């Protein structure tokens, strides 16, 4: 299980204030804490819509890249920001994400990813998040096809079924179909493709004391479907513990009860 840290995001007020002030020390401290918590990849987000990312994403990428040797994930709708940020990465990054709606300039993004050796998240979404298994698979199949045509192989693709909040609406149905989507992608796609899920989306609208236990449970549930990578709050103990157990159960690390204390 690849743990993608979702702690440098637009909902983190401490981090966002540091971006405004160009507070390098705070960003360095966050990067060190995330790395120390066991992240395999650090996801970097500077806005929800990409506005202004050309000024902030390269700055943060440069700082985090200097502080760690682990892989970075560049989370931006702004292709110009990605062009400036990818060269600052020590290793070809993960670009997060391509959907049927974003970014508008698919060809430029695909060319950038292909030429840089980066990996790419392809997300089952367009104007709305599809709820049915069939709709999720159809969108992902189309995105994988255009990525392959741009010389991005399946080994560098991460398919995201698009998890939504479980509270109200069709959240539970979406979750069940997301699980089935991961199973299908894991079992049937050849050559194999990676799967990824944004775990924190499940707990939107849930009361604060319950959020992280719900996210940790979702991690364990999706691991049973064969999930390869999870975008998570790596600084939360219950989520970090779930990641540790999944890696232990998969024989990716040596288990020690002391590590969970």
Where are the chain's structural domains?
Answer: 2-260
Whole-structure pTM value: 0.97
pLDDT in tens, 91-146: 999 999 999 988 878 999 999 999 999 999 999 998 889 999 999 999 999 999 99
> Residue 162 is encoded by which pair of tokens?
């698009």
The arithmetic mean of pLDDT across residues 54-79, rounded, is 97
Q: Is the pLDDT of residue 168 over 80?
A: no
Fold of 2-260: TIM Barrel (3.20.20)
Percent above pLDDT 70 for the chain? 100
Query: What percentage of the chain carries pLDDT values higher than 90?
Result: 90
pLDDT the model gives residue 188: 83
Name the pLDDT band for 171 (thresholds 50, 70, 90): confident
Band of the pLDDT at 54, cuts 50, 70, 90? very high
> What pLDDT sits at residue 260?
86
In sequence order, the 6+-apart residues with CB closer than 8 A to the CB of 208 are none
Give per-residue pLDDT as tens, 229-251. Answer: 999 999 999 999 999 999 999 99
Average pLDDT of span 192-206: 95
CA 147 vs. chain centroid, Å, equals: 18
> What are the contacts of 213-221 at 24+ separation with CB within 8 A?
213/238, 214/166, 215/239, 216/241, 216/242, 217/242, 218/163, 218/175, 219/243, 219/246, 220/245, 220/246, 221/179
Mean of the per-residue pLDDT values for the chain?
96
Rounded CA separation 125/98 (Å) = 9
DSSP letter for each residue of 15-54: HHHHHHHT-HHHHHHHHHHHHHTT-SEEEEES-SS-TTHH
pLDDT at 127: 80
């Amino acid at each position: 299980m690849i743990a993608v840290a979702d702690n440098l995001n637009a909902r983190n007020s401490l981090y966002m204030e540091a971006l405004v002030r160009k507070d390098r020390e705070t960003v360095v401290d966050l990067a060190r804490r995330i790395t120390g918590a066991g992240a395999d990849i650090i996801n970097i987000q500077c806005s929800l819509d990409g506005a202004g990312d050309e000024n902030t994403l390269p700055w943060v990428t440069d700082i985090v890249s200097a502080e760690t040797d682990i892989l970075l994930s560049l989370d931006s709708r702004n292709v110009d920001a990605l062009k400036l940020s990818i060269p600052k990465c020590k290793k070809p990054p993960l670009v997060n994400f391509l959907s049927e709606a974003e970014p508008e300039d698919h060809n430029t993004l695909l060319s950038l990813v292909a030429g840089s050796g980066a990996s790419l998240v392809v997300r089952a979404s367009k104007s709305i998040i599809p709820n049915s298994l069939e709709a999720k698979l159809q969108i992902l199949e189309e995105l994988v096809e255009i990525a392959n045509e741009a010389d991005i192989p399946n080994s560098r693709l991460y398919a995201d079924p698009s998890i939504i909040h479980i509270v109200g609406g069709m959240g539970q149905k979406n979750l069940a179909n997301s699980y089935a989507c991961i199973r299908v992608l894991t079992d049937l796609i050849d050559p194999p493709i990676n799967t990824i899920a944004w775990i924190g989306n499940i707990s939107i609208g849930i009361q604060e004391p319950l959020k992280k236990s719900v996210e940790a449970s979702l991690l364990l549930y999706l691991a049973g479907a064969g999930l390869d990578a999870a975008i998570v709050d790596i600084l939360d103990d219950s989520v970090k513990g779930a990641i540790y157990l999944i890696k232990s159960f998969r024989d990716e690390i040596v288990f020690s009860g002391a590590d969970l204390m």
